Amino acid sequence: MTELPVIRLRPKSKPQAIRHGFPWVFADEAVLDRRTRALPPGGFAVLEDADRRPMALVTVNAASKIVARVMDADPAARIDRGWLGGRIKRALALRARLYDTPFYRLVHAEADGLPGLVIDRFGEVAVIQPNAAWADAMAAEIAAALAEVAGLSTVILNGQGRARGLEGLDERMEVLLGQAPEAPLPVAMNGATYLADLMGGQKTGLFYDQRPNHAFAQRLAKGAAVLDVFSHVGGFGLAALAAGAERATCVDGSAAALELAAGGARAMGMAERLDCVQSDAFKAMEQMAEDGRRFDLVVCDPPAFAPSKPALEAGLRAYERVAKLAAPLVAPGGFLVLCSCSHAADLAQFRNVSARGIGRGGRRGVLIHSGQTGPDHPVLPQLAETGYLKALFFRLDG
Query: How does pLDDT run across 144-167, given as a tens digit for each residue?
Result: 999 999 999 999 999 988 889 889
Are 275 and 247 contacting, i.e. CB atoms less than 8 angstroms apart?
yes
CA separation for the pair 109, 157 (Å, rounded): 15
Q: Which CATH architecture has domain 81-177?
A: 2-Layer Sandwich (3.30)
Q: In this model, does residue 218 exceed pLDDT 70? A: yes
Cβ(88)–Cβ(146) under 8 Å?
A: yes
pLDDT at 2: 59
278-311: per-residue pLDDT in tens? 999 999 999 999 999 999 999 999 999 999 999 9
- 250, 276, 300, 341: which one is catalytic? 341
Judge whether 341 counts as a catalytic residue: yes
Average pLDDT of every residue of the chain: 95
Tell me the per-residue pLDDT of 238-254, one tens digit each, with 9 for 90 and over.
999 999 999 999 999 99
Beta-carbon neighbour count of residue 362 at 10 Å?
9
Report the distance separating Cα 229 and Cα 227, nearest Å.
6
Residue 1 confidence class, pLDDT cut points 50, 70, 90? very low
CA distance 150 to 146: 5
* CB neighbour burial string for 306-322, b if at least 16 within 10 angstroms, e if fewer: bbeeebbeebbebbbbb
Average pLDDT, stretch 44-63? 95
Q: What is the mean pLDDT of residues 231-237?
A: 97
For 82-117, the pLDDT digits (tens) are 999 999 999 999 999 999 999 999 999 999 999 999
- The CATH number of the structural domain formed by 190-199+207-396 is 3.40.50.150
The model's pLDDT over 159-206, given as tens digits with 9 standing for 90+, comes to: 988 889 889 999 999 999 999 999 999 999 999 999 999 998 777 889
Instruction: For domain 6-72, give its CATH number from 3.40.50.10860, 1.10.1660.10, 2.30.130.10, 2.70.170.10.
Output: 2.30.130.10
In this model, does residue 40 exceed pLDDT 60? yes
What mean pLDDT comes out for the span 343-353?
95
Instruction: Flag whether pLDDT at 398 surpasses 80.
Output: no
| Identity at 166, one-letter amino acid code | L
Domain ranges of the chain: 6-72, 81-177, 190-199+207-396
Instruction: Give the single-character DSSP code of 153.
Output: S
